[in-house]
Amino acid sequence: MASARAMTSTRLLCLFNTTAAGSIKTLARTGCRVCLTRNMSSSPPRLQGCMSAWTIDQYGSNGVLKYTEEITVPTISSATEVMIKVHAVSLNPLDVAMRGGYGAKLLKLRRDPLSVMDNDSEFPLILGRDLSGVVVDCGSGVTHFAPGDEVWAAVPPWKQGSLAEYVTLTEYEVSHKPKVLSHIEAASIPYVANTSLSALVNGGGLCRDSSSNKRVLITGGSGGVGTFAIQLLKAWGAHVTVTCSQNAVGLVRGLGADEVLDYTAGDVVEQLEMMEKFDVVFDGVGGDTEEWAMGLLKPWSGAKYVTLVTPLLLNTDSMGLLDGTLNAGCSLQSKAIQNLLSSGVFYRWGFYAPDGPALDEVSKLVDAGKILPVVEAQFSFTQVPQAFQKLEKGHARGKTVVRVAEEDDRQTEELVQDSSTETAESVQETAKQS
Ligand SMILES: NC(=O)c1ccc[n+]([C@@H]2O[C@H](COP(=O)([O-])OP(=O)(O)OC[C@H]3O[C@@H](n4cnc5c(N)ncnc54)[C@H](OP(=O)(O)O)[C@@H]3O)[C@@H](O)[C@H]2O)c1
pLDDT in tens, 48-73: 799 999 999 999 999 999 999 999 99
Q: Check pLDDT > 80 for residue 431.
A: no
Question: What is the C-alpha separation between 278 and 280, in angstroms, rounded?
Answer: 6
Q: Cα-atom radius of gyration of the chain, to the nearest Å?
A: 22
Region 358-370: what's the mean pLDDT?
98
User: Which residue among 110, 198, 269, 285 has the greatest number of ligand 1 atoms within 8 angstroms of its CB, and so is best to mutate?
Assistant: 285
Give residue 407's pLDDT: 59
Q: Is 308 in the pocket of ligand 1 (CB under 6 A)?
A: yes
pLDDT in tens, 380-403: 999 999 999 999 999 999 999 999
Give residue 422's pLDDT: 35
For ligand 1, the distance from its centroid to the CA atom of residue 1, given in whole angstroms, is: 32
Query: To the nearest whole percent, how much of the chain has pLDDT over 70?
Result: 82
Region 336-341: what's the mean pLDDT?
95
Q: Which residue, by CA, sits nearest to atom 8 of ligand 1?
A: 308
- For 261, the enclosing helix (H) or strand (E) is strand 259-262
H runs (alpha helix) in 294-376:
312-319, 321-343, 356-367
Give residue 190's pLDDT: 98
Residues 6+ apart with CB under 8 A from 138: 44, 76, 81, 82, 83, 145, 146, 147, 171
For ligand 1, the distance from its centroid to the CA atom of residue 382, given in whole angstroms, is: 26
Q: Which residue, by CA, sits nearest to atom 25 of ligand 1?
A: 220
Question: What is the C-alpha separation between 242 and 262, in angstroms, rounded?
Answer: 9
Q: Please, is 317 exposed, middle or buried when counting C-beta atoms within 10 Å of its C-beta (0-12, 13-18, 19+)?
A: middle
Q: Check pLDDT > 70 for residue 304.
A: yes
Banded pLDDT at 284 (limits 50, 70, 90): very high
Region 250-277: what's the mean pLDDT?
97
Choice among 19-28, 32-41, 415-424 with the minimum mean pLDDT? 19-28
Atom of ligand 1 nearest to the CA of 220: 34
- Omega within 30 of 0 (cis) for the link into 373: no
Q: Is 284 in the pocket of ligand 1 (CB under 6 A)?
A: yes
Q: Check pLDDT > 50 for residue 229.
A: yes
pLDDT in tens, 87-119: 999 999 999 999 999 999 999 999 988 777 777
Q: Is 394 in the pocket of ligand 1 (CB under 6 A)?
A: yes
Contact 192, 398 (CB under 8 A): no
Atom of ligand 1 nearest to the CA of 247: 40
Q: Is 351 in the pocket of ligand 1 (CB under 6 A)?
A: yes
Q: Check pLDDT > 90 for residue 36.
A: no
Banded pLDDT at 44 (limits 50, 70, 90): low
For ligand 1, the distance from its centroid to the CA atom of residue 221, given in whole angstroms, is: 8
Q: Which residue, by CA, sits nearest to atom 31 of ligand 1?
A: 285
Contact 89, 99 (CB under 8 A): no
Region 324-347: what's the mean pLDDT?
95
Give residue 113's pLDDT: 86
**CATH superfamily, domain at 12-189+373-415:** Medium-chain alcohol dehydrogenases, catalytic domain (3.90.180.10)
Banded pLDDT at 268 (limits 50, 70, 90): very high
Atom of ligand 1 nearest to the CA of 396: 43
Atom of ligand 1 nearest to the CA of 289: 31
For ligand 1, the distance from its centroid to the CA atom of residue 284, given in whole angstroms, is: 5
Compute CA distances 360 → 173, 190, 276, whole Å. 11, 10, 34
Query: To the nearest whole percent, how much of the chain has pLDDT over 90?
Result: 79
Question: What is the C-alpha separation between 302 and 297, in angstroms, rounded?
Answer: 9
Provide the strand spans (E) within 116-214: 125-126, 130-138, 150-154, 166-170, 174-176
Banded pLDDT at 29 (limits 50, 70, 90): very low
Hey, which residues does 154 pair with through a beta bridge? 130
Which overall architecture, per CATH, does domain 191-349 show? 3-Layer(aba) Sandwich (3.40)
Instruction: Specify the long-range contacts of residues 68-75, CB closer than 8 Å, at least 24 apart.
Output: 68/124, 69/30, 69/33, 71/124, 71/126, 71/164, 73/34, 73/47, 73/48, 73/49, 73/165, 73/166, 74/160, 74/166, 74/167, 74/168, 75/46, 75/48, 75/168
User: Which residue among 309, 349, 389, 390 has the greatest number of ligand 1 atoms within 8 angstroms of its CB, and so is best to mutate?
Assistant: 309
Q: Is 224 in the pocket of ligand 1 (CB under 6 A)?
A: yes
Q: Is 225 in the pocket of ligand 1 (CB under 6 A)?
A: yes
Residues 6+ apart with CB under 8 A from 41: none
For ligand 1, the distance from its centroid to the CA atom of residue 245, given in whole angstroms, is: 12
Compute CA distances 190 → 5, 155, 206, whole Å. 19, 9, 19
- Following DSSP, what letter does each residue of 46-111 receive, concatenated? EEEEEEEEEEESS--SGGG-EEEEEEEPPPP-STTEEEEEEEEEEE-HHHHHHHTTTTHHHHHHHH
Banded pLDDT at 120 (limits 50, 70, 90): confident
Contact 68, 84 (CB under 8 A): no
Q: Which residue, by CA, sits nearest to atom 35 of ligand 1?
A: 220
Q: Which residue, by CA, sits nearest to atom 37 of ligand 1?
A: 395
Q: Check pLDDT > 50 for residue 434.
A: no
Domain ranges of the chain: 12-189+373-415, 191-349
Q: Is 285 in the pocket of ligand 1 (CB under 6 A)?
A: yes
Hey, which residues does 46 pair with through a beta bridge? 37
Query: Hey, which of 114-118, 119-123, 338-342, 422-426 has the most confident mean pLDDT?
Result: 338-342
Average pLDDT value over all residues in the chain: 86
